[in-house]
């Protein structure tokens, strides 16, 4: 009994340490993503990231091995968020258009996590670039599926699925470049404007 209790306590401590590391890594990736979107890969500095987090650059290396590794982590997190958005849309939407709307709301809301725009793929190693590009293309197919679903259920007018997917994801992916959470428009207002533009453009006429 005592032995089991000790083992359980040690396991809880290990889980707690793991959770703390995950939270710190998420904070690191969030800060780095903001800096990437604002300054690009060339303007990303590990020293600046450490300064924002109020830690030493040496401490930063406990969570990332290099600038390229940090870029990879930011892109992996961006794709994780995209996948979570699709999963959310699948459960919340009842037709193709609604799923697109819920996908947008997942990314644009007051509590949405910052994601890095995938515009510095050339800075990754060949192996990492292929992995990120391949996963991104797989996820894009889910948006194309919503568009086809919407055409089939009547919520979306006949359109070219590939072009429409480029239009929606291209517009959404560049939002972090210009949207200022402290600006005149709130996240909810931006989301609603974005959804209105998409919905008005996709709904059947007449």
pTM score, whole prediction: 0.87
Burial class (CB in 10 A: 0-12, 13-18, 19+), 5: exposed
Q: How far apart are CA 76 and CA 191, in angstroms?
A: 24
Identify the pLDDT of residue 2. Answer: 47
Question: How confident is the model over 15-34, as pLDDT tens digits?
Answer: 788 888 888 899 999 999 99
Question: How confident is the model over 126-157, as pLDDT tens digits?
Answer: 999 999 999 999 999 999 999 999 999 999 99
């Amino acid at each position: 009994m005592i032995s089991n209790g000790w083992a359980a306590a040690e396991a809880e401590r290990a889980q707690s340490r793991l959770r703390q590391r995950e939270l710190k890594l998420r904070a690191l990736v969030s800060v780095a993503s903001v800096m990437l979107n604002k300054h690009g890969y060339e303007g990303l500095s590990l020293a600046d990231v450490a300064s924002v987090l109020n830690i030493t650059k040496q401490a930063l290396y406990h969570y990332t091995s290099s600038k390229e590794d940090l870029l990879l982590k930011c892109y992996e997190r961006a794709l994780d968020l995209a996948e979570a958005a699709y999963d959310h849309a699948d459960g919340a939407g009842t037709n193709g258009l609604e799923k697109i709307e819920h996908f947008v709301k997942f990314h644009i809301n007051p509590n949405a996590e910052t994601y890095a725009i995938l515009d510095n793929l050339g800075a990754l190693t060949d192996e990492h670039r292929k992995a990120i590009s391949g996963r991104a293309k797989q996820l894009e197919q889910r948006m194309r599926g919503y568009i086809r679903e919407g055409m089939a259920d009547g919520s979306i007018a006949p359109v070219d699925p590939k072009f429409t997917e480029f239009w929606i994801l291209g517009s959404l992916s560049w939002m972090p470049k210009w949207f200022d959470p402290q600006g005149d428009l709130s996240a909810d207002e931006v989301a609603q404007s974005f959804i209105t533009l998409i919905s008005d453009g996709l709904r059947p006429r007449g």
